[in-house]
Amino acid sequence: MPSNETLERFIAMVETNDHAKACEIFYTENSTMQENQATPRTGRDAHVAAEHAVMSRARSVSSQCVRPVFVTDDKVVIRWIFRFEWLDGSVTQMEELAYQRWEGERIAEETFFYDPAQRVPVRSNA
């Protein structure tokens, strides 16, 4: 079970959009990360690489934790809202739930639940 301090540090780092660094610091070496029912990615290095790949395609990112955060034993559920402005000018706004299993102070398993229709970029009117 993560301490409240660790959980708040994790949320704060994601909210500053340093997603790759959050993976480096807060995930176990052999952690898994799964998008809806897709095949899970395994390994912290794979998570970091995936975050770098997404961020390299974005002009700007906004990440917001919607409270409350639910914690029971080693399970944590966080509601996130993300807004990506892509290099081509399109925008993706997503709301998701992250269901996590922590081993001590690090995330060992994480599954994201969201409507996949949200992943379709929309042309910005700006």
- At residue 40, the 3 state secondary structure works out as coil
Asked if residue 122 belongs to a domain, the reply is no
Whether 124 is in a domain gets the answer no
Cβ–Cβ under 8 Å, residues 74 and 103: yes
Nearest to 22 by CA among 63, 57, 59: 63
Q: Is residue 125 part of a domain?
A: no
- What's the N-to-C CA distance of the chain in angstroms? 44
Residue 126 placed within a domain: no
- For residue 117, the 8-state DSSP code is G
- CATH number of the domain to which 74 belongs: 3.10.450.50
The C-alpha atoms of residue 81 and residue 1 are separated, in whole angstroms, by: 24
Respond yes or no on whether the N-terminal peptide bond of residue 116 is cis (omega within 30° of 0). no
Which amino acid, residue 12? A
Give the pLDDT of the chain (126 residues) as one tens digit per residue: 899 999 999 999 999 999 999 999 999 999 999 999 999 999 999 999 999 999 999 999 999 999 999 999 999 999 999 999 999 999 999 999 999 999 999 999 999 999 999 988 898 665
What's the pTM value of the predicted model, to 2 decimals? Answer: 0.93
16 in any annotated domain: yes
Rg (CA), the chain: 14
When divided into structural domains, the chain yields a total of: 1
Beta bridge partners of 83: 62, 93
- Domain span including residue 89: 4-117
Contact (CB, 8 A) for 79 and 66: yes
**DSSP SS3 for 115:** coil
Query: What pLDDT digit, counting tens, does each position of 84-113 carry?
Result: 999 999 999 999 999 999 999 999 999 999
